[in-house]
Amino acid sequence: MLEFSFHLLSLRVIISCMGLVGNAFLIFSIIQTRVSSVKTFELFLLGLATANLEEIVIVNIYDIVILQRSDVVPDAWVCRSLKFLTVLGEISSILFTVLISLYRYQKLCDADKRVHLSIYLDNTRAAWTAIRLCVGISIFLSAPIFVINLQVQTGNLTGNHTGCAPNFFLCSNDHCPTVNRIYKYTFTLLCYVLPLAVVTLTSCLIVAVLLGPRTTVKPIASVSGSTRIERRRKARGLHRSTIAILAAMVLFQVDWTLYLVFQMIFDATDSPFWAEVEFFISTSYTSISPYVFGIGKSLFVIRNFWKK
């Protein structure tokens, strides 16, 4: 059992380090670009990477430093604050993924008719409004952590918990306050089920566009050769970026579908490994997605990095 825990901890460290490096690299690659050259899509990637980085750091502090150390008895306010920051990063990461998927679908939809005309989210002011909306929704949905009644089951007794609970959203089936249940189901619906449905639908629409008639780039006689080559280069870049987004969306769907399945099958109060399962499911997306997006946008090319 001790050896298994050691391997589990080692895997946790590897995934966390991979996520820290990937997200930090993605953030650094974007902020190295001149402000005038930063596109709205890169702003969304910057928000996603920042949320991922914040979640990985805080969840390790919460899970390892506090939950794994029996000699530490932190104040309930500290636990609530750390859990709030963890959930804030998690929801922000989910919402930025939804925003990226919607943006890319709008970019591809009717591209042959729109040609070079921009979409609504291409506007910098609209992009910043969308980013603020994602952060605002995340704060609003995470804030109830400070007011819900934390209760855990200890043997046959159920009482207020003054330490750090492994999970703030689930409670015992035998004793679960109405407020906790309302928050649990509302949170699950708005933060997992609805985003998962949107990302799944958007990915299907993107695939339909990619498999449809390719009329986005048409050679025109009056267009110079250099302009034609530039258009083809941009089209190839858009296609590569779209494939990367689809790969990240598939990873998102697999991770959070597994999370919902585990949540329905197992009870967090009865399963000793629920915290580990939750960590690996959520952190696998936040750790792998920056590499997928970065490679798709050619942000992880070492040659370009050293030039910057």
Q: How far apart are CA 89 and CA 257, in angstroms?
A: 19
Are 89 and 54 a contacting pair, CB within 8 Å? yes
Share of the chain above pLDDT 70, in %: 66
Q: Is the separation of the CB atoms in 60 and 252 below 8 Å?
A: no
Q: Which of 181, 177, 201 is nearest to 252 (CA)?
A: 201
pLDDT tens for residues 108-132? 886 666 656 677 888 888 889 999 9
Domains within the chain, CATH numbers bracketed = 2-218+231-307 (1.20.1070.10)
Contact between residue 46 and residue 96 where contact means Cβ atoms under 8 Å apart: no
Q: What is the pLDDT of residues 164-213, one digit of tens each?
A: 666 666 566 666 677 777 888 888 899 999 999 999 999 999 988 888 76
* Residue carrying the six token digits 């070079």: 116
